[in-house]
Each structure stands twice: as C-alpha cells, then as structure tokens.
Amino acid sequence: MSRASMKDHAFKPDMKEGLYRAIHSRRDIRSQFLPDPIPEEVLARLLLAAHHAPSVGYSQPWDFLMIRDLKTRQAVHTAFLKATEDAAQKFPKEKSDQYRTFKLEGIREAPLNICVTYDHSRSGPVVIGRTAVPVMGPYSCVCAVQNLWLAARAEGLGLGWVSIVYNRDLSAALDLPDHIEPIAYLCIGYVSGFPPEPELETAGWLPRVPLTEIVHDGRFGISCAGNWPELHQALLKEQKGIYSFPNKK
Amino acid sequence: MSRASMKDHAFKPDMKEGLYRAIHSRRDIRSQFLPDPIPEEVLARLLLAAHHAPSVGYSQPWDFLMIRDLKTRQAVHTAFLKATEDAAQKFPKEKSDQYRTFKLEGIREAPLNICVTYDHSRSGPVVIGRTAVPVMGPYSCVCAVQNLWLAARAEGLGLGWVSIVYNRDLSAALDLPDHIEPIAYLCIGYVSGFPPEPELETAGWLPRVPLTEIVHDGRFGISCAGNWPELHQALLKEQKGIYSFPNKK
C-alpha cells in the first residue's frame, strides 16, 4: 500500500483542527455556568458520543443518569461539602488555606448533572480483555466520559467532573442499585467563557509538567533526544510556547 | 448573556464534524497494521493531545514509554499469550472456541507500541480531587489514552489497547519502577483500513446496547421518554439506524 493511500485515512486539515481544538480548549468548569437549558438534540449528540467510546470486549458497561432535580443535586452538594472538608485537613496549613479558596464544583449552578456509572454485570461474567485487568470495566466508562467532555466543548458547553464525593454518599444520594458503581459525577451547562488555561495552573497551584520529562525512549528515564530527535525538538518547542499548535487556545 | 453570545463558544459545523467523525470512526485495531514508520511530528501531536487530557487536581500523573524495540515487544507478546490462554479457559466451551479465533493484538506488527502509565508520586502525596476517590489518578491517565486514540484516528493512524496482559508481567517486561503502574499498552500504526463497525459486533459476539435502555431520568430504570421526549426520540432514531448523525462511518 502506497504512502498516498495510507494518508487517505487521515482527516482533512479543518476536520483535524476541530478535534485538536476540542482537546486543547477543553476545561474543567466550576465557576462559569449559566442556567440556560441544554437543547435535547444537543444532549443526544453528547450521549451518542459517549456511547461510541471504546469498551473492553465491546461490553459498553456504562449508564447515564440525567439529574435536573434540585433536591438530588442539593444532596450531592452536601456530600461534596463533607468530603472537601476532609480533604482540606489533609493538606499542610498553607496549601489548605489556598485549597479552601478554590471553587471546585458547579453542582447547583449547572442546569444539568450527569452521573456516568459502571455496571458490573453488563455483558455477562466473563468479558474479553477484562480477565487479566478487572479495572478495564471502569476504564471503559472513563473513555465515555472523555468523549462526552470533548463533544460538550465542541457544542459550546462546559463540563466539570466532581470527584470530591465519597462513592458511598453518591450511591445513596442517587439510589444506585448494588451492581452499579459511580465513575464520574458531571456538571454540564452553557458558560460565560472557557478559561484560556487550566484554573489550577493560573492560580499557581501546579505548573504544566514538561512533556520531555515524561516521554521516555524504551525504558523509564531515557530521554527521546537520542533516538527521536524531531519528536524531542517538537516537544521542547511546545514547552517554550513557540510550537505552532493549531488552535491550542 | 444572550443565546447568541452563548453559542459563540460552540464550534463551526465543519470543526464539530471533525471531532464527531474521530469519535464515531475510531476503532480498536488489531489486524490492519502496516509496518510504515510514523513521522515524529505526527507523534508529537499525539503526545501533546494526550498531555492535554483532564487530570485530577492538575496532577498530570501520566508517563509515555515509547517502544519500538522488537525484543521488548516480543516479551510483551509472550505475556499476552499466557494471559489469553488463562482467559480462554474462563469462557464456556462454545464461547471459548470463538474467543480463540479472534485476533486481539498487533504488538509485533504495529511499528510502535506506547505504554501509558500512572505515577503514584506525581504532584505530591495529597492531590485535589483524589482524596475521596484514589482511582481518579488512573482515571486521568485513561483520559489521556482516549485523547491519544482520537488524535491517532484523525491522523489516519490505528490504535489498539492490549489489556490481556497481567500488570506484573507488563511491569517486568518494561522494567517499570515500583511507583509506576501500567494503565494502557497501546499498539499504533498506519492501517490498511478502519472497520466500519467494532469487530466484536461484526463477529456477532455482542450487539450495540440500545442507548434508550441506559440513559435514565433521575433514577435507575426510569425512561427518559416522559420528561425528555426529544432526547428519547433522537436516541430511538439512532437505534433504528435512521438518525442522521454526521459522519458516523
């Protein structure tokens, strides 16, 4: 097969750019939610995107719980407050003070919450690809979350993943059946804007990790500079902010 | 904020289509790999996409181990053979026979393997959002895998996730440090083609799960037909194959 026909499978530049723009401008949204409802046809596209995620052994082990009811969201928010207070006490004093200043969820402000769950019984007791690594089931659900997140960004919708809630509290607030495990509690809605960088980076909590330090050649700790010089140079450029990445912002 | 300005955050149709096309035409590739090398500038875009995944508390806990060496790949393949034989014995006889006919990996045929790993020590002992749900660390790495997978599809590259290997065998074959946990072993390369549907669906192993059965209104088992009629209709259309989804194939 010739190089030319191999390249037939690649997208045209504008289509490629659409994907990369979604990836690079996606943010975890907590503070920018608007109350406007989300059109149901848009929600259908989001759920279809999630449902077309990869799943181990084609088990599709996910469910999507659509939560608009304010009483349920209030219960989840109460569970969040408990878990975030526990969390604050785990940081050293200075970090703890800064942690308490962050807004880390938009449970009640977003017009819609979706809980993505994992069904332990879906597709039978033995699932291809889950036999050696059982956590592949939950991992499939995470792939669905990421598809949903990127689709939301393309539709102009913000999404925030609230993970500061104990699973047992979440299961109780949502009356989840015993065989259903919560994977992701998501807040979704239109937004006043998407921050240009992750908010924890802007706040000085943590910096972007340099990619050249975490891409290894064959064995951990071996830089790609030797055997992958062009790759290494491209990653270095990105770190210096001079890489001409399409639509990063 | 007006509806018009809210919509400003949405992508233009062709950009949206690029994302949805990547999501809907992405496949787990095992049999279609070509040996042609992947340009390093393309690899840089894939790794940048992965590195811009969401991560719990902005911890970016992933590493990327680039594996071209055939001896290492052979060791991983040997570990795969052991785990897949264990797996075959877990299925009932008839399913086991069919399981053995499937090609489930392209470890040696693909020109590149990448192991995405989770660093338990990255960004300190207390990570925002990981306190109540420790597995959020590995989940972040899975989001990176999904970004990488979608970017690969847009670049015309196939990717297969090999999960039929025990983590201890994988760690041994790759000399992983103790604080590093393998999350995903990926085979990547140009392909002769992308199957129009997931191969396990085509083979009759499992059908696509109807979305209307797994999207619930507020509580498990409550259909969206009542309170989300347009959403329900859109999902029903998709199930009947008449939903006009942009570039599903």
Burial of B102 (0-12, 13-18, 19+ CB in 10 A): middle
Window 35-64 of A, Cβ < 8 Å to B: 36, 39-41, 43-45, 47-49, 51-54, 56-60, 62-64
Quickly tell me which residue has 């062009």 as its tokens: A230
CB B165 within 8 A of CB B186: no
User: Are B147 and A146 an interchain contact pair (Cβ–Cβ within 8 Å)?
Assistant: yes
- Tens digits of per-residue pLDDT, A47-106? 999 999 999 999 999 999 999 999 999 999 999 999 999 999 999 999 999 999 999 999
Look at residue B110 and give its three-state secondary structure. Answer: coil
Structure tokens at B45: 């875009």
B80 at the A interface (CB within 8 A)?
Answer: no
One digit per residue, the tens of pLDDT, for chain B of length 249 reads 455 566 589 999 999 999 999 999 999 999 999 999 999 999 999 999 999 999 999 999 999 999 999 999 999 999 999 999 999 999 999 999 999 999 999 999 999 999 999 999 999 899 999 999 999 999 999 999 999 999 999 999 999 999 999 999 999 999 999 999 999 999 999 999 999 999 999 999 999 999 999 999 999 999 999 999 999 999 999 888 765 554 444
Strand partners, A116: A64, A184
Instruction: Please tell me the predicted confidence (pLDDT) of residue B8.
Output: 85
Portion 84-103 of B in contact with A at CB < 8 A = 86-87, 90-91, 95, 99, 102
pLDDT of residue A222: 98
CA atoms within 13 A on the CB side of B43: 28
- Would you say A186 and A159 are in contact if contact means Cβ atoms under 8 Å apart? yes
The count of other CB atoms within 10 Å of the CB of residue A161 is: 25
Contact predicate B199/B28, CB 8 Å: yes
- Domain positions in chain B are 25-199, 209-242
Place of tokens 């490629």: A16
CB contact (8 A) between residue B165 and residue A132:
yes
State the burial class of residue B179 (Cβ atoms within 10 Å of its Cβ: 0-12, 13-18, 19+). Answer: exposed
B8 CB-contact burial (10 Å; exposed 0-12 / middle 13-18 / buried 19+): exposed
What region, left, alpha or beta, does residue A148 occupy, with left being phi > 0 and alpha being psi -120 to 50 degrees?
A: alpha
Assigned token pair, A180: 């259903």
Surface of B (201-240) touching A: CB under 8 A: 201, 205-206, 208-209, 211, 214-220, 224, 227-231, 234-235, 238
Residue B151 distance to chain A (closest CA, Å): 7
Rg (CA), chain A: 20
**Cβ-defined contact of A220 to B122 (cutoff 8 Å):** no
Which residue, among B52, B57, B9, has the nearest Cα to A199 in the 3D structure?
B57
CB-CB: which of A40, A123, A219 is closest to B228? A40
Report the 3 state secondary structure along chain A.
CCHHHHHCCCCCHHHHHHHHHHHHHCCECCCCECCCCCCHHHHHHHHHHHHCCCCHHHCCCEEEEEECCHHHHHHHHHHHHHHHHHHHCCCCHHHHHHHHHCCCCCCCCCCEEEEEEEECCCCCCCCCCCCCCCCHHHHHHHHHHHHHHHHHHHCCEEEEEECCCCHHHHHHHCCCCCCEEEEEEEEEEEECCCCCCCHHHHCCCCCCCCHHHHEEECCCCCECCCCCHHHHHHHHHHHCCCCCCCCCC
- By CA distance, what is B137's nearest residue in A? A163
- Return the pLDDT at B5: 61
pLDDT at B6: 62
| Chain A contact set for B135 (CB, 8 A) | 135, 138
Give the residues of chain A that fall short of pLDDT 50: 1, 246-249
Residue A53: per-residue pLDDT: 98
The burial of B227, by beta-carbon neighbours within 10 Å (0-12 exposed, 13-18 middle, 19 or more buried), is given as: middle
Give the whole-angstrom CA distance, residue B82 versus residue A135.
Answer: 19
Which one of B180, B183, B216 has the shortest CB-CB distance to A65?
Answer: B216
Which among B200, B133, B123 has a CA at the least distance from the CA of B160? B200
Query: Which pLDDT score is estimated for A3?
Result: 53
Q: What is the pLDDT of residues B68-123, one digit of tens each?
A: 999 999 999 999 999 999 999 999 999 999 999 999 999 999 999 999 999 999 99
Q: Are A27 and B187 in contact (CB under 8 A)?
A: no
- pLDDT at position A239 is 85
For residue B101, CA distances in Å to A80, A108, B198, B205 come to 48, 51, 16, 12
Pairing of strands B112-119, B180-190: antiparallel
Mutate to test the interface with A, among B12, B67, B213, B214 (most CBs of A within 10 A): B214
Greatest alpha-carbon span in chain B: 62
Q: Smallest Cα–Cα separation from A219: which of B172, B134, B240, B36?
A: B172
For residue B64, give the nearest of A156, A184, A216 by CB distance: A216
The CATH code belonging to domain A17-207 is 3.40.109.10
Where is B6: in which H helix or E strand?
helix B3-7
Cα torsion angle, A117, A121, A127, A129, sign: positive
Are A187 and A106 contacting, i.e. CB atoms less than 8 angstroms apart? yes
B228:A175 CB<8 A = no
Residue of A nearest to B112 (CA): A218
Fold classified for B25-199: NADH Oxidase (3.40.109)
Give me the residues of A, 143-182, that contact B with CB < 8 A.
143, 145-147, 149-151, 154-157, 161, 163-167, 174-177, 180
